[in-house]
Structure 1
Amino acid sequence: MIDRIRSLLAVIEEGSVNRAAVRLRITQPALSRQMKLLESEVGGRLLERGSSGVTPTGLGHALVKVMRPVVDSYDAALADVRRQARGFRSELRVGFLISAAQPILTPALERLRNTHPEIKLKLHDMSPKEQIDALEAGEIDLALIGQEGAVAARDFHSLKLGSLGVCAALSSGDPLAARKRIAIKDLAGRDFIGADEDHMPGRNRWIASLCRSAGFKPRFLSIIDGITHMLSMVASESAVTLLPDYFRAASHPGVTFVPVADANARWDLIVLWQRGKTSAATTALVAALKATAS
Structure 2
Amino acid sequence: MYDPNRLAALVAVAEAGSITRAAERLGYTTPALSQQLAKLEREAGTALLVRHHRGARLTGAGELLVARARRVLDEMEQARHELARLTGLSGGTLRLGTFQTAGIQLLPPVLSAFRRAHPDVELTVAHLEPPAGVAAVAAGDVDLALTHSYEPADPVALPASVSVEPVLVEELVLVTAPGHVLADGTARLPLTELAGQPLISMAPDHPARRGVEAVLARAGATPSVLVATPVYALVCALVSAGLGVAVVPEMVARTAVTPVSMRLLEPGDLRRTISVAHRTDESAPAADAFRALLRGAFGRAKQAAG
| Interval containing the TM-score (normalised by the shorter chain) | 0.5 to 0.7
SS where residue 291 of structure 1 aligns? helix
User: Contact 2:174–2:264 (CA<8 Å) still a contact in 1?
Assistant: yes
Matched, 1:188 2:195: yes
Matched, 1:273 2:275: no
CA shift at 1:230, angstroms?
2.2
Aligned to 2:289: 284
CA shift at 1:167, angstroms?
1.7
User: Contact 1:95–1:140 (CA<8 Å) still a contact in 2?
Assistant: yes
Which has more radius of gyration?
1
**Shift in CA distance, 153/159, structure 1 to aligned 2, threshold 3 Å:** farther
Aligned to 1:220: 223
Identity %: 22
Matching of residues 1-294 of structure 1 within 5 Å: 90-147=92-149, 154-155=158-159, 156-180=162-186, 181-195=188-202, 200-209=206-215, 211=216, 216=219, 218-221=221-224, 222-225=226-229, 226-236=231-241, 238-294=243-299
**Shift in CA distance, 118/148, structure 1 to aligned 2, threshold 3 Å:** farther
How far apart are the structure 1 equivalents of 2:282 and 2:105? Answer: 29
User: Contact 2:194–2:220 (CA<8 Å) still a contact in 1?
Assistant: no
1:140 aligned partner, one-letter code: V
Gaps in structure 1 of 5+ consecutive residues? 1-86
**Shift in CA distance, 123/201, structure 1 to aligned 2, threshold 3 Å:** farther
User: Contact 2:199–2:245 (CA<8 Å) still a contact in 1?
Assistant: yes
How far apart are the structure 2 equivalents of 1:291 and 1:182? Answer: 33
1:178 aligned partner, one-letter code: D
SS where residue 158 of structure 2 aligns? helix
How far apart are the structure 2 equivalents of 1:165 and 1:201? Answer: 18
How far apart are the structure 2 equivalents of 1:137 and 1:259? Answer: 39
Q: TM-score, normalised by structure 1?
A: 0.59
How far apart are the structure 2 equivalents of 1:179 and 1:135? Answer: 44
SS where residue 141 of structure 2 aligns? coil
User: Contact 2:150–2:270 (CA<8 Å) still a contact in 1?
Assistant: no
Superimposed CA distance per residue, residues 135-182 of structure 1 (whole angstroms, 9 cap, x where no aligned partner)? 344322211122269855622211111221222121224211233342
Aligned residues: 205
How far apart are the structure 2 equivalents of 1:132 and 1:237? Answer: 36
SS where residue 227 of structure 2 aligns? strand
Superimposed CA distance per residue, residues 198-242 of structure 1 (whole angstroms, 9 cap, x where no aligned partner)? 5x4412323324x47xx6254433133322332233234532221
2:243 aligned partner, one-letter code: S
How far apart are the structure 1 equivalents of 2:268 and 2:173? Answer: 12
Q: TM-score, normalised by structure 2?
A: 0.57
Gaps in structure 2 of 5+ consecutive residues? 1-87, 300-306
Spell out structure 1 runs of 4+ moving beyond 6 A: none
How far apart are the structure 1 equivalents of 2:204 and 2:134? Answer: 12
User: Contact 2:191–2:219 (CA<8 Å) still a contact in 1?
Assistant: no
How far apart are the structure 2 equivalents of 1:160 and 1:197? Answer: 26
User: Contact 1:193–1:224 (CA<8 Å) still a contact in 2?
Assistant: no
CA shift at 1:196, angstroms?
5.8
